[in-house]
Amino acid sequence: MDISDICDNVVVDRVTIADIEAAVQRTGEAAVRTPLLAQPWSTGRPLWLKPESLQPTGAFKIRGAYNAIAALDDADRARGVVTYSSGNHASAVARAAWLFGVPATIVMQDSAPRVKVTATAAYGAEIVTVAMADREREAQRLAEEHGRHIVPPFDHPDVIAGQGTVGIEIVEQLGDVDVVLVPVGGGGLASGVGTAVRQLRPHAAVVAVEPELAGDTAQGLREGHRVDWPGELRARTVADGLRTQPSELTFAHLTEVVDAVVTVTEQEIRDAVHALALRSRLVAEPSGAVAVAAALYRDHELPPGRTVAVVSGGNIDADLLAEIVCAG
């Protein structure tokens, strides 16, 4: 699906390559410069993986969370931070706050995967559980009550800029990359990566990937405006990290820096988790595997050439991983 002609009428401040380069300096050693791993088993196209599952918190989210907290002035940061998240951003904010020595309160939905709740609690954050629909409202209440700053999962320029450091690394590591496949849920990662790749490698195609069962971004970019899928529809996908949907800020970025969106089925996501475990020796959560699913099953929808798939995270419950691996 070509979205290059979509017109965005929302006036927002766009993240620039300078913002992303500043995030590189801020995050420093807090985020791992993950490698690009060539995949000789890929017979369809030359394929490299960017395993963000190797980050200290098991997902790319540490980049944006740390950058956003680092960008606060000392007084605001000292009062502490609040966020709401299904898990990966939660543990990222908890770790970043721990590194800065400031308090953090994390609002999580009561259905969050156990592995993500445990990882967040390990950094000493206060965890508050509510229904998914109440997370943002409760976070706002707690921030006002305690005078703390909210670090949203994706809807903030500093978060987007932090995630964009993935894109800078991709171009530095594979200067002649032709296609970058990146998962999309709330759109922070795709917005940041797309911005960096568009500036540094303008001829490369940036393709966002999401589950068919949470295909609001594909529909929205096809129709030229944000669409709202009910939470119960988005909750059907096994890719729990992609059950969110873009904000006005991220959607405005996506219309400018993403060349196409493809969707993948639930079985294709599971098959990609299986392939990553047995062929690439990488543990990936379903949300983290969607880009690889696109490389495996949507080759005919993708531009040709050297392709990088971002494996955005590896925080998967052991029981689900065993189920998927054994099913294959």
- Residue whose token pair is 């965890």: 127
H helices present in the chain, as ranges: 17-27, 61-70, 74-79, 88-100, 114-121, 135-146, 157-173, 188-200, 216-223, 231-234, 248-257, 266-278, 286-297, 318-327
What span, in angstroms and rounded, lies between the C-alpha atoms of 161 and 153?
12
Report yes or no: 211 and 245 within 8 Å, Cβ to Cβ.
no
- Residue whose token pair is 């030359």: 46
* Residue 312 falls in the annotated catalytic set: yes
H/E element, 102: none
- Closest-CA residue to 303 (of 23, 107, 117, 45): 45
The tokens describing 20, both together, are 């992303």
Annotated active-site residue in 42, 61, 85, 116 = 61
- Closest-CA residue to 184 (of 117, 248, 241, 255): 241
Neighbours of 32 (CB within 10 A): 15
Calculated CA dihedral for residues 238, 285, 121, 102, nearest 10 degrees = -110
Q: Which residues are the active-site residues? A: 61, 312
